[in-house]
Each structure stands twice: as C-alpha cells, then as structure tokens.
Amino acid sequence: MSTQARGLNNFISDLRNSKSKSEESARVEIELAKIRKKFNPGDAKLASDGSNPSLSSYQRKKYVWKLVYIHVLGYDVDFGHAEVLALVTSKKYSEKMVGYTALSLLLRGSDPVMSRVIDTMKSDLTNAPSSSTNKKSNAPKNDAVQCLALCSLANISGLELIQAMHLEVQHILVSPSSTDQVKKKSALCLLRLTRTSPNLISGREFAPHLGNLLSQNQHLGVLTSVLSLLHGLALQQTPSYEILIPHVVHILSLLVMKKKCEREYLYYQTPSPWLQIKLLKFLQLYPNAVENHDLSTTGGGSMVGEEHVGQLIGVVSKILMETDVSDSINKSNADHAILFEAVDLIVAWGTSCPVVLREGAMKLLGKFISVREPNIRYLGLSTMAKLAQIDEASVEGAKNHQATVLVSLKDADISVRRRALDLLFVICDTDNAERIVDELVAHLVVADASIREEMVLKIAILAEKYATDLRWYVDTILKLITISGDYVSDSIWHRVVQIVTNHPQGDLQGYAAGTLFVAVAPARCHETTVRVAAYILGEFGFLIAERPGMSGDEQFRVLHQHWFTVDTGTRAILISTYAKLANLYEECRPLVAPVFAKSKNSVDVEVQQRCAEYAAMREAFSPEAVEDLLREMPPFEDKRRSALELRLLETEGENSAAVAKASIPSEVEQQRALLAAQMLSSGPIEEDMVNGMQPIEEQDDELVSKPSDEHPEDGDVDRAVGADPSGDVDGEGSAGGGMSQDDQANRVLVGIPKELIPAMRKAFSNLCTSPSGVLFENSMLQVGVKHEYVGAQGRISVFFGNLHSSPLQNFKVRVDQPDHLRMQMQGTQDLIDDGEYDSPGCTVATKTQAKLMILLEVTAPFDDAPSMRITFDTEEGEHHDYPLRLPLVATCFMEPVNLDPGAFMQRWKSLEGQDRECQEVMKLPPNAPEIDEKYMDRVSKIIVDGLKFGRCQGVDPTPWTVSGAATFRTGAQDMNGNNINVGCLVRVEANPRANAFRVTTRTLHPLCSKAIKNVSLVSIKLAM
Amino acid sequence: MIKGIIIVNNSGKPRLVKLYQNVFGEQRQQSVIRRVYQQVSTRPDSFCNYLEGSVPEWGENIKLIYRHYATLYFVFAVDAQESDLGILDLIQVFVEALDKRFSNVCELDLIFHSDKVHYILDEIVMGGMVLETNINSILQAINDQERMHNDSMRKAGPSDSVDTISTKLGAGRNW
C-alpha cells in the first residue's frame, strides 16, 4: 500500500526521465507554478489563515508532498506555508502527519509563521491520552498526536517554540500517565531543546526526577532515551547529576552481569548495546568516581558508595575479559562498541584506575590493532593513543606494539594511516625516536598530499624533541626538505638555525655546515635547502673551510649557482652570507663584489638595501667594526613555546593530544637546555641575548617593515643610492644584515682569529697522523698534544703553555665526551670543567704549563673528533674562548693487517655495496707539485705509518696505486665476550695526468669507511 | 549527536537527506551532500567505515560513519559524543527496518516511498538522537501510524481510495 499520491509518482517519474539538469529544473518550475496556482488561484477567496479552502484534503496533502520532494531535490521552496499550517491544525491524523513532517522539513524555527502553530502544537502535546474507551474509535490515538508534535518540535527547535513549550515537555516526561512511546520522545525532545538553549533546566531540581525515571522504568527503550537526555544534561552541568551514578551503575550491572534484558532488545544476543554505551558514556564524565576506592569512604567526598565502586569495577573487568571475537560481524560490532566505551572509561579514570584493568585494556588493544578488520583496527589505534597518555607505564605498554603500528602506517586507508600517525606521535620518546622518525620519513616519500603537511610538522617536532644527537636532527630536517620541501614551513627551518646556533657544544655547527654544503652542491635542490645552507654557511662555514673542496670560494660557488633560480627572499639571505664570506676569505671578495654591484639596482627593496649597506660598510667603518658586525650571531633567546608547537596548536586545537605532548619538554631537551645554559653562563654572550636578539622569524618581520616605518616619505631608490651611507648604516646596521653590533661590552670577547684557522687546520691534520705536535699557538697560549694507542685504548697528554706576559686566569678546559669514547681525565687542579658544577678554573702563571691527561677506550666507529673548548681571562680583561678539537680520529685505533693479494682481492670484493664503500676524487690545486713516484712514496708512507695500515704490495703492480688493510679495534664486546673489531681496506689511486687522487675505502661499517677516507684525503693533501 | 543523515546512490544522487543541525541555504546544503558523496564514494569497501573528512558547514571534528549497501551509501555525520561502532549498528538497524517494511528494500523503494522512509527514520533517530533501536517496536510504531492513517482516509471521499489503488497499480506498471 502506498500513501503517496499518483500525481506525485508521475511527477517523480517525469523527473527521473529528464535527460539533463536543465530539463529537470524546467519540469520543477512548471510544477511549482502549478502548485502556486492551486494554492492561490486568484479568483477564489482564501481562508483567514491564508490557505485555499477549496482544496480537498487529498489535493492539499499531495501538493505539500510535492513541495517537500522538490525541497529535498535541492530547489528553493518559499511558499505554501499556509497550506502546511492548515494540515497541522487539521483534526485528521493523516493530514496532521503530513503537516508536521512538512513543517519540520520546509520551515525553520525562526520563520514568523511558527508563532501560529504554537497553540496547535501545545494542545497536541498536552491533550492527556484519552481513556481506553476510545481505543476502537476512528479518532486518532492521542499519544500518536503527542508523538507527532514532539517529533516536529525536536526537529524544528526554534527559540520561540522552546520558550513556549519546554515546561510542557518536561511535564510529559515525568508524568506517570504518559505512555512509553511518549516518554521516549519527550526525553529526546527535551534534550534537543536544551541543546539549542542551554540552562533551560536547573540540574539540582531536575536530577531527582530523572532518578525516579531511571529507577522506575524497566522499558529499555525509555531508559535509552532518558540516558541520552541525562548524558546531554550532565555535559552542561556535570556536578548536579553526580548523585545519579548509583542508578546508572545499577542498570549497567543488571545488563552486563545478569544479562537482564527483554528479548527484543537483544541485538544479535547482546543486551541493548546502545543503552550500555550511553551508561558508560555518562560514567566517563566522572573521572574521580573510583578514586581512593580501597580507602574507606568516610562520608562526604565522593557521592559514590563503596559497594557501587566495587560493582562498577567488576562490570568493567567483565566487559574487558569476556568480549569474544564473533563470527557475526554485527554481533562483534555491538560487543566491541561496548568494549571500546569501557576502555574509554578506563582512560577517563586515568591513574585512579586499577592497574590490572589498564594493562588488560592495553593488551586487548594490542590484539585489535593487529587484526585485518579495518574498523576494529582503526578504533584500536585511536583508543590506544588515548590510553597511552595516562602515564609512563602505559606509554611503555603501547611501545611494545610499535612494530604493529608501523604496519598500519602503510595501510591504503587514509583514516587508518592518520590514526597510526597519531599513535606513533604519542608513543615516541628518546628510546625509539630514531626508529620512528626514520620510518615516518621513509613513509613520507609515498604518503599522499592529504597527510604530508601534518607528517612533516610532526616529524620536525619529534626529531627536535627526542634527538639524542642533534646531528641526526639536522639530517632529518634536511631529508624532510629534500623529500617534500614544499610542505616544510619557514618555522621549521628557522628552528634548525636556532638550534644549530644555540648548541656550540660537540661539533654540531661544523657538522651542519658540512652537511648543508653537500646538500646545496647539486645544481638542483629545493629552495628551502638553499636558504638554510646560506644561513648556516654564513655563520659556520669557517668551521669547514679547511675540508677538501669546501673552502670559502667553493662555498660561495655552490651557493651562488642557485642565485638565478631563487626568489628575492632567498637572495636577501644569500647577500648577508656573501658579506660574511667576503669578510672571512680574501679570495671571495672579487667574487662577491660584482654580485653586490649588480644587486644594488635590484627592484626588490630588501635585496637592494642589504647590498648598499654591506658595500658602504667597508668604507664607513674601521676594519675592526666591520669584523664585529659580521661576526657570528649570538644564541637565540629560548621561547617557551616553539613556533612549531604554535602551528600544531593552530591545526589541531587546544585539546589535541599531540599538542599536549609537544608542549612538555622531553628529558633530552631538558638536558640540552641545561647544558646550553651552562655553556653560556660564564660568557659575555649573555649580554647579547639581553640586548634583544630575537628569534629569527621576528627579525625577518622587522627587516621587511623597518624601512617603510622609519622613512615613510623617502623613496626607496633614494635610500638605496646611499647618499649618506654612514648615517644610514649606523642606524640600521643590525637590522639590515641581521648582524649584532653590541660587542662594545665591558669585557672583550676574543675567539680564534680567522687568520689563524688555516694554520690550525693544518696542525690538526698533521697531528692526526703523527704522535706529537702543536695543536694551537698564538701570542698567549700554546697547546701541545702527545698521543699513543694500543688496540682500542689510547693515552693523550695535552699541555697548555702560557706564552703571555701575565697569568691566564679562570683557565678551564672542557672536553666533549661522545658516546663512542670512554674517557678518564686527570689534570692540573680545577683545570677540567666537567659541566657538573661551576668550577672557577685554574690560573696558569707566565711561562708555565697546565697539563691534562686523558685515558680512553673506543667503543664504536665514529667519524668526527671530540671537541675541546678552552676558556680563560687575561688581566687586561679579555675573555678568551677557543673551540678546538682533539686530533683523535678513527685511524688512531688501527692495527695493520698483512694480507696476500688473493686474500685482499677476495675481501675487497666481499665488501662491495653502497653502505660499505666510500669514495672521493680529489683534484690537487693548480699550484701543487706534479704527482711523481716520490709523491707516491710519501703517500704510501702516510698510509702505513700515519694511518697504520698494512701495505699490500702485491695488489699494486704500478707505482700509482697504494693498497692497505687494517683492523679497527674497539673495546666493546659482542655477545660471546669477544671484542668487536672492524676490518678496513683502503686503496689510493693516482692519476698523474689529471693531477688527481681517488681514495676508496671499504669496511664493514659506513662510519669507518667515511672516517678513513676523510683522514686519507687530508693527509695526502698535506704530503704534497 | 548525529548532525545529519544522508543516503546517496552510487552516482551521487541523494535519496534521503535529513539534517539535524541546520545548514542554511539550498546551495550550501547541496554542497554538503556533494562533499560527503565525494569523500565516501572514492573509498573501496575494504577500507574502514570511518572518515574524518571535514564538512565545514557542520564545524570541525565531524566524523562520517557510513555503510555501503549495493547501490546506496548510508552516511551518518556525527560528533565525538557518539559511539563509533554504535552508529554502525544503528545504520544496520535502519536498513533492517527498511528491509522488513518493504520486504527486500531496494533503491526504488526509497524513491517512491520517501514518506515512509522518513517515518521509519523518525522512529529511530529524533532530533539527532537515537530514539529506538528495537526493530520490532520501530515497525510496531510504523504499523500503528499506517493503520490510523488509513482509518482517517477511509472516512474521506471514495475518490481517495481509488487514487490509492491506481497509485499502486501505476507503480507496478511503470517500474
């Protein structure tokens, strides 16, 4: 039987047959015109309510239905309200039904005509159900009419209607004479009304009524609706409804423990899952309900009695333990819905929840995230992320499932991937950061655009937070830029600069400079790489200037190859870098000058201004002042919340788990901060910080805004010509280049003069292959080193001689202790600064020495030398600060191995492969001597005596190759208690015609290969 | 709460649209439907039934929970207060109720009996809240309504009942 009229069916058929959207809308227009005419024929007189009295009941219903249908199709229907109202006020049930449905679909609560249905609705609501005598009559059952009105009221929920009727709805709900059907609907209707206008109901007064409803009703349908209402109300006024917890626990335990449930409310044998879910959801609002439950509750305090707490915990554990995986998908859905709510309840209880339950939940979730069924896996992942946040122990629990989570990260489904990413973010900490971040980076390559930005941001935060080695952090961010540079926001690379600048300890700055040099060397690379590289090389390029192929002019060359492809923002950074390079290296000046000359006329204000100012600087100031201006930037002030966290906050909102996690500093971060604070505490650098050095992003803003702010009337060109360069630069020197100008502090800070650096590098390289020598020397201080090694162990003696005319005070030496070296230090009293306490340092009198002896053992391959920082004050008030490095490299621990040619070739072949082999070609500078046999003798001597390799003569038929083998000894032991050793092979090939050397190293360990290659290259260069 | 329920077919034609949180303007309403369809229809059935696609008209943090039956997508847009699996069950209840009422429900039933579909839904979800999940009492309420409806129709003129019959025949002939 159909309640729909034929005319409507024909109309629908017409629409379905229409070939195009325009044909359809033409048909709709015709129909609308027809209906409009029917409703208001023009000649007939309309009734007082605006409806057309000549329409039959059937016609009116038919046309209103057509309007509803047209409305659902997406066309605007702005007439016919009068006819809808006429149907609502009708006495016939069939008309009322159509009327109310149309009312809630076609009209909105704010429509003015609504006021005209209030009376009808009210009387429909309040008409008490007529007595049973009416049962057989044709008059509509009143509870059906009540239901229609409630339903419509809930769907429309206009303010005016609510004000007029909420009391009636409350009354109907609590009235004993209302039928179950009516109670159900009135509960939900009331909930809807309170959602639209909160505080309609006073919790304190209404809670007892709800209590009655909960305790008196056995009808599960009514209970479900009442619970919905209760949950909604309790969300608004949580404390008022706490007294109802015992009722809720009681109902829940009936359902779960006794399975007390009418048959028809069993959904695939599960007792009304929706009711159970609602009950659990309500309980989640009271996280303190089970607090201190094993202490006797002595009145007051919690509203929940001891027996209820026990009951509740019993219920929750039963749900956890007894949920089975079922064959029926629907049964399993229902059961798991309850289970997940129960776990959410455990999450809400947090630390006050018994540990057994938490562990049980974690175990279950671990099972869920490994199933194939995507819904369960999805929910398992998202719930586990919540559960893991309770405390340390739960994070540990979740970490056991890391491998499983990583599998879901590669799922085809974006919803599952998002959850997996979120969970990984939550469980990431110092122990597993490298693994997780590397996995995320690997996944980023294949990740689709929809999730990339989120991933990049999260990877950047994790890498920073949990990096035990900041070099790894730098590498990670570089990878991010390479893989998806477009998603790496400015704040991410600004952060890299901040971190590198603020961590002078270790060799981070040199490492960053070296890595970025390599990254920016290819002709094509992402613009963000160019920016970071430009900034870092400008600041710390001098640390790598002595490495082969990375001299100042090389640095300029690799940066400048990108000049024509980058935008003006990047060019501005490049210009500052060029100024710094030109300042450091004589050979760069002729290269830089033409760039400046050209860019002086740049259309971009920023580029133009920087060029003009740097060019003018040399003429206007003394060389010392220029030197100061172009010195390295002082450390950045640490802000509590990094820019990255702020971004995360923007995208995820305050309540996001990720944000909470990101804002708590990790252990490593705290350690780093402490270390940095110590490093800075004695130096005058602090003053620079106080003098307002701001984080880089703010400075950039300043750069852009400053010129226009200060000279609103000046033309830009005018300024660029630099009519008065001295005045201009004076005022804006620091802004223009981002350089610090405030070294005119009371104490003078003296670092290593730039001109000394080449000599130092040479001394360092020499010492790497010779047992003793001078590491550093200037007019005040000489540092000598003697070192010897047996297997994995070594002894280094360092002598600090005072060459000055007065004592050196507060003399301190701080030696970086990397993980791969076990060190013991001994020395002149107070000389060693171990970072534990603020030692005053010792005094070294004129013409005397301070001594430092280090005993060490190597435990793992490495490719860098530990740093040694010397600080002291002179009587003249100068503070000296020399960051040096100990000549302690991998080749120090070699033991020669003599192999016959066959064995050498066999091993050489077996070590083929990307990770194991390292190769570099070095072209000698044009002024170098030719490669002859004598040179080759020196090379072979270096390999044998300096690098301590055993020469393998038989493999070198011509004089132009040198091959050698050695073992790298470490003190670390493998599982059987044997020392771990790494076999190393090296082969140097000379090409006299090209005046070049090629060094190839093959070892079992990539770091070893790299280290040996580097030392060989440097030594060979020194031998010329 | 449930922000909206949308049933669309495989080619994106809406078959039932019920929005509990009002989206003002036909244009925007249509764009909600389009957006929901686009997001859901690109996912193979092997994916999970949840999608955290944002539908800006409803605000942030809206999750789409859907099921795909033959030619139709049943999509519920819900906020964080609803149980994820509970809603999946609810969709199942809705479909089972339709199936019982129309005996083997198909897309055409939704087209030609859109009124009844609305009535059934009104017995399951009201104002965005779950009203009833017991299929028997849902169908009972629908039957009561229909009986009363017919009773009140019988009192009207004979032309109505002729119409009812011919409607039925017409539907049979054309479809």
Q: Are B74 and B49 in contact (CB under 8 A)?
A: no
Condensed to tens digits (0 to 9), the pLDDT of residues A360-397 reads 888 888 888 888 888 888 999 989 988 888 888 888 88
pLDDT level of residue A685 (50, 70, 90 thresholds) = very low
Condensed to tens digits (0 to 9), the pLDDT of residues A887-905 reads 888 888 888 888 888 888 8
Q: Are B6 and B36 in contact (CB under 8 A)?
A: yes
- Joined tokens for residue B21: 């949180």
Task: Inform me whether the pLDDT recorded for A558 exceeds 80.
Answer: yes
pTM: 0.59
The DSSP annotation for A813-841 comes to EEE---TTEEEEEEESTTTB--SSS----
Residue with tokens 């048909």: A27
Residue B14: its chain A contacts at CB < 8 A? 72-74
Q: How far apart are CA A203 and CA A195, in angstroms?
A: 14
| Cβ neighbourhood burial of A118 (10 Å; 0-12, 13-18, 19+) | middle
Quick one: which of A736, A783, A730 has its CA closest to A759?
A783
Q: Give the mean model confidence (pLDDT) for residues A996-1014.
A: 84
Condensed to tens digits (0 to 9), the pLDDT of residues A277-288 reads 999 999 999 888
Closest CB to B26 among A76, A140, A151: A76
Q: Where are the alpha helices (DSSP H) in A197-328?
A: 203-216, 220-236, 245-257, 273-284, 306-322
Residue B85: its chain A contacts at CB < 8 A? 333-334, 336-337, 340, 375, 379
- Joined tokens for residue A921: 């070609």
The answer to whether A7 is annotated as binding is yes
Residue with tokens 């519920």: B76
Give B30→chain A minimum CA distance, Å. Answer: 7
- Joined tokens for residue A42: 């023009």
Q: Give the mean model confidence (pLDDT) for residues A804-825.
A: 84
Q: Give the mean model confidence (pLDDT) for residues A948-953.
A: 84
For A280, which residue in chain B has the nearest alpha carbon? Answer: B83
Q: Give the mean model confidence (pLDDT) for residues A264-271.
A: 80
B/e letters for A491-520, b = 16+ CB within 10 Å, e = fewer, are: bbbbbbbbbbbbbbbbbbbbbbbbbbbebb
Q: Give the other-Cβ count within 10 Å of A167's Cβ.
A: 10
Q: Give the mean model confidence (pLDDT) for residues A1016-1020.
A: 83
Give B151→chain A minimum CA distance, Å. Answer: 6
- Joined tokens for residue B23: 């989206």
* Cβ-Cβ contacts under 8 Å for A251 (sequence gap 6 or more): A214, A223, A275, A279
Q: How far apart are CA B61 and CA A935, in angstroms?
A: 72
Q: Give the mean model confidence (pLDDT) for residues A206-228.
A: 86
Bridge partner list, A788: A795
The answer to whether A100 is annotated as binding is no
**Inter-CA distances, A333 with A256, A265, A375, A697, Å:** 16, 16, 9, 50
Q: How far apart are CA A540 and CA A513, in angstroms?
A: 6
Residue A95: its chain B contacts at CB < 8 A? 152
- Angle (CA) A231 A232 A236, round 5°: 110
- Angle (CA) A221 A222 A223, round 5°: 90
User: Any CB–CB contact under 8 A between A470 and chain B?
Assistant: no
Residue with tokens 């809308």: A25
Give A138→chain B minimum CA distance, Å. Answer: 6
Residue A72: its chain B contacts at CB < 8 A? 14, 16-17, 114
Q: Which of residues 557-596 of A touch B (CB under 8 A)?
A: none
Among A116-130, A156-170, A477-491, A734-748, which is the least confidently predicted range?
A734-748
Q: How far apart are CA A242 and CA A237, in angstroms?
A: 10
Task: Inform me whether the pLDDT recorded for A290 exceeds 50.
Answer: yes
Question: Which secondary-structure segment (H or E) carries A60?
Answer: helix A57-73
Q: Give the mean model confidence (pLDDT) for residues B90-104.
A: 89
Condensed to tens digits (0 to 9), the pLDDT of residues A914-936 reads 677 888 888 887 777 788 888 88
Task: Inform me whether the pLDDT recorded for B112 exceeds 90.
Answer: no
Range with top average pLDDT, A159-163, A406-410, A671-675: A406-410
Q: Three-state SS string across chain B, please?
A: CEEEEEEEECCCCEEEEEECCCCCCHHHHHHHHHHHHHHHHCCCCCCCCEECCCCHHHCCCCEEEEEEECCEEEEEEECCCCCHHHHHHHHHHHHHHHHHHHCCCCHHHHHHCHHHHHHHHHHHEECCEECCCCHHHHHHHHHHHHHHHHHHHHCCCHHHHHHHHHHHHHHHHHC
Helix and strand numbers, DSSP H then E, in chain A: 42, 18
User: Any CB–CB contact under 8 A between B12 and chain A?
Assistant: no
Closest CB to B132 among A138, A157, A184: A184
pLDDT for position B73: 92
Q: Which of residues 309-348 of A touch B (CB under 8 A)?
A: 330, 333-334, 336-337, 340-341
Bridge partner list, A923: A996
Task: Inform me whether the pLDDT recorded for A96 exceeds 60.
Answer: yes
Bridge partner list, A871: A812, A881
Strand pairing class (A748-750; A878-885): parallel
Quick one: which of A320, A359, A324, A314 has its CA closest to A340?
A320
Quick one: which of A94, A96, A79, A82 has its CA closest to A31?
A79
Task: Inform me whether the pLDDT recorded for A852 exceeds 50.
Answer: yes
Question: Which secondary-structure segment (H or E) carries A153?
Answer: helix A142-156
Closest CB to A277 among B86, B111, B136: B86
Cβ–Cβ below 8 Å for B149 and A93: yes
Question: Which secondary-structure segment (H or E) carries A867?
Answer: strand A867-873
Q: Are A481 and A493 in contact (CB under 8 A)?
A: yes
- Joined tokens for residue A712: 């609103």
Condensed to tens digits (0 to 9), the pLDDT of residues A412-439 reads 888 888 888 888 888 888 888 888 888 8
Mean pLDDT of chain A: 78
* Cβ-Cβ contacts under 8 Å for A193 (sequence gap 6 or more): A153, A154, A157, A162, A166, A169, A200
| Cβ neighbourhood burial of B107 (10 Å; 0-12, 13-18, 19+) | middle
pLDDT level of residue A533 (50, 70, 90 thresholds) = very high
Closest CB to A138 among B46, B49, B151: B151
Instruction: Sort residue A486 into left (φ over 0), alpha (ψ -120 to 50) or beta.
Output: alpha
pLDDT level of residue A657 (50, 70, 90 thresholds) = low
pLDDT for position A742: 40
For A229, which residue in chain B has the nearest alpha carbon? Answer: B129
Q: Give the mean model confidence (pLDDT) for residues B14-20.
A: 86
Condensed to tens digits (0 to 9), the pLDDT of residues A759-782 reads 888 888 888 888 888 888 888 888
Q: How far apart are CA A698 and CA A682, in angstroms?
A: 27
Give A182→chain B minimum CA distance, Å. Answer: 11
pLDDT for position B7: 92
pLDDT level of residue A715 (50, 70, 90 thresholds) = very low
pLDDT level of residue A709 (50, 70, 90 thresholds) = very low
| Cβ neighbourhood burial of A976 (10 Å; 0-12, 13-18, 19+) | exposed
Closest CB to A6 among B131, B156, B166: B166
The answer to whether A38 is annotated as binding is yes
Q: How far apart are CA B121 and CA B98, in angstroms?
A: 9
**Inter-CA distances, A998 with A518, A768, A915, A963, A989, Å:** 18, 20, 18, 12, 5
Task: Inform me whether the pLDDT recorded for A224 exceeds 70.
Answer: yes
Condensed to tens digits (0 to 9), the pLDDT of residues A957-976 reads 788 888 888 888 887 777 66
Residue B48: its chain A contacts at CB < 8 A? 374-375, 377-378, 413, 415-416
- Joined tokens for residue A805: 């005319």
User: Any CB–CB contact under 8 A between B157 and chain A?
Assistant: yes
Give B57→chain A minimum CA distance, Å. Answer: 16
Q: Are B40 and B66 in contact (CB under 8 A)?
A: yes
The answer to whether A64 is annotated as binding is yes
pLDDT for position A922: 84
pLDDT level of residue A684 (50, 70, 90 thresholds) = very low
Residue predicted with more confidence, B59 or A788: A788
pLDDT level of residue A345 (50, 70, 90 thresholds) = very high
B/e letters for A126-155, b = 16+ CB within 10 Å, e = fewer, are: eeebeeeeeeeeebbbbbbbbbbbbbbbbb
Cβ–Cβ below 8 Å for B26 and A97: no
Residue B81: its chain A contacts at CB < 8 A? 231, 235, 281
pLDDT level of residue A672 (50, 70, 90 thresholds) = low
Q: How far apart are CA A1021 and CA A927, in angstroms?
A: 12
Residue predicted with more confidence, A635 or A251: A251
Measured torsion, CA atoms of residues A320, A324, A325, A328, in degrees rounded to the nearest 10 = -120
pLDDT for position B91: 92
The answer to whether A983 is annotated as binding is no
Condensed to tens digits (0 to 9), the pLDDT of residues A577-607 reads 988 888 888 888 888 888 888 888 888 888 8
Q: Give the other-Cβ count within 10 Å of A12's Cβ.
A: 17
User: Any CB–CB contact under 8 A between B167 and chain A?
Assistant: yes
